[in-house]
Amino acid sequence: MTTTLNTTTPAAHTAQAAPAWLSGAAFAGAAGISSIALFDAATHGLTGAYSQFADGNGSWLFILGTLVHGLGYLALAAVLFLRSRDIDGGSGAVRWFRRLTAVCFAALGAVFLIGTFVHGPLMDEVGSAIGGVTFFGMFLFGAALGISLLATRRRTPAAWTLTAILSAAALLVLLALVAPDWAHPAYPETAVHFGAALLVLPQPRSGRRLA
């Protein structure tokens, strides 16, 4: 009598491609927000004044800029929420930093969109408080997410771009010391926006679990 042993292993998690609408929204959002930020940085560096996208005078460019920011941040939040299984790869650290980064994006999106249509002292104070905390948070948690991805041996464009937030922040500090007019958060912003957008692409499985 012959006994056959079942040596098959459970099927590994296979990364699935994101829906076309999510990919398009993610990269359009990242490109839109980053383009406005970099334009504003260049304008301030060359003239010492901020562009109409950021001057708060209620012009159509300022309104357009706030709408682009609001929708773009919501698109990036959607990537981190809807692609959670693919991004996390079983890592608890990646999961928590992804969630925290997504919350920051969602809060920023809400602040920009609501602020476009609702005005007043209370809204300005609340919006500034929430926006300030979550704006800093997206850099902190976004960089931590990138480092966590690299620590789980997923050396992807998204992981490297998110980790580059640290280098971009260092550049910002250096410029603040030697060329203050060119010091602008657009540089780390671009890294966090495109790093998050790149997470819409299929991610490899974690090489090891980072608790």
Domains contained in the chain, number: 1
Residue 107 falls within a domain, yes or no? yes
- Residue 42 burial (10 A CB sphere; 0-12, 13-18, 19+): middle
Residue 11 within any structural domain of the chain: no
Instruction: For residue 147, tell me if it sits in a domain.
Output: yes
**What's the mean pLDDT when you consider all of the chain?**
87
Residue 56: pLDDT band (50, 70, 90) is low
pTM of the model: 0.86
Query: Is 73 in contact with 106 (CB distance < 8 Å)?
Result: yes
pLDDT at 4 over 50: no
pLDDT in tens, 143-184: 999 999 999 988 999 999 999 999 999 999 999 999 999 999
Establish if 7 belongs to a structural domain.
no
What pLDDT does residue 80 have? 95
pLDDT confidence band for 188 (50 / 70 / 90): very high
Residue 124 domain boundaries? 20-198
Q: What is the pLDDT of residues 119-142, one digit of tens each?
A: 778 777 888 899 999 999 999 999
